[in-house]
Amino acid sequence: MTTSSTRSSAGRRKKARQYLPPQHGAWAMLIVPWLAGVLTAGFHWAHLPLLGAWVAGYLLSYYALQAVKTRRLSRFRPQLLLYAPITAVLGLVVVLARPHVLAYAPAYALLLALNAAYAWRRRERALVNDLTSVVQSCLMVFVAATVAAAGIGQVVLAFTAILLYFTGTVLYVKTMIRERGNASYRRASVAYHVLALGAAAVLSIPIAAVFVLLLVRAAVLPRYRLTPKRVGIAEIVAATLVLSTAVAA
């Protein structure tokens, strides 16, 4: 009985993994910009279907890009057939509630086309492709503001802080994992964080204080062999600090 239950549980976990990407850092890039927009511009009921469409759209795009990369559409058909209608229905609800969000469609189309081009060349880990994804993510701050019928100027500070943070995180995480030991990447990461600190100082003193910590982490932590799990936990803390100070500023 116990063996049968264990096998059943393992089977369910395995099936679930087929529908969830192994990209744990992506969840912060989904949730933080949405929260930044909602908390800064004010909540509207359409933010809930927006979040659903945003998450489902990410899952749809992930498996669509995997299909482009592998040239094997049939392999990812179940995921595409699951997430496409969810994205479409929830997205339609948002558009009906706030038609102005369609203004962002060309930007997202262009950015997704760049992702597709890198996937086709099997270079999805390229720095430019990562930064393209960062811009996609951070644009959600403006989308959330539009849903709330708030002025774009109301969320510019939060958008800038989030964009500075996630751009630096791309460089920093590479120095901790895929480019560990690469002196050029480490210098680029530290140099970027120095510039980001200068930009953050223009935004507000609390945001600048957080970016001091981010600069220290970019300069010091690559000297240590931290596991991806520990790097991820540290980034959850960092993202929370950036979000809280950006929203409060």
pLDDT level of residue 5 (50, 70, 90 thresholds): low
Can you tell me which residue has the tokens 């390229």? 126
> Domain map of the chain by residue range?
23-151, 155-249
Average pLDDT for 121-134? 93
Encoded tokens for 142: 């403006």
Q: Does the structure show a pLDDT above 70 at 12?
A: no
What pTM was estimated for this model as a whole? 0.91
- The CA distance from 95 to 213, in Å, is 39
Average pLDDT for 234-245? 93
pLDDT level of residue 92 (50, 70, 90 thresholds): very high
Average pLDDT for 142-152? 95
- The CA distance from 98 to 37, in Å, is 15
Are 101 and 95 in contact, with CB atoms under 8 Å apart?
Answer: yes
Task: Identify the pLDDT of residue 3.
Answer: 56
Task: Identify the pLDDT of residue 170.
Answer: 93
Task: Identify the pLDDT of residue 150.
Answer: 94
Task: Identify the pLDDT of residue 226.
Answer: 84
Least confident piece of the model among 18-22, 106-110, 215-219, 223-227: 18-22
Cα 73 off chain centre by: 25
Task: Identify the pLDDT of residue 23.
Answer: 76
Average pLDDT for 66-78? 93
Task: Identify the pLDDT of residue 15.
Answer: 66
Q: Does the structure show a pLDDT above 60 at 240?
A: yes
Least confident piece of the model among 13-17, 64-68, 219-223: 13-17
**DSSP string across 216-238:** HHHHHGGGS---HHHHHHHHHHH
Average pLDDT for 181-196? 94
Task: Identify the pLDDT of residue 169.
Answer: 94
Are 172 and 180 in contact, with CB atoms under 8 Å apart?
Answer: no
Q: Does the structure show a pLDDT above 60 at 8?
A: no
For 226-238, how does the pLDDT look when each residue is reduced to its tens digit (9 = 90+)?
888 888 888 989 9
Q: Does the structure show a pLDDT above 90 at 7?
A: no
Are 106 and 136 in contact, with CB atoms under 8 Å apart?
Answer: no
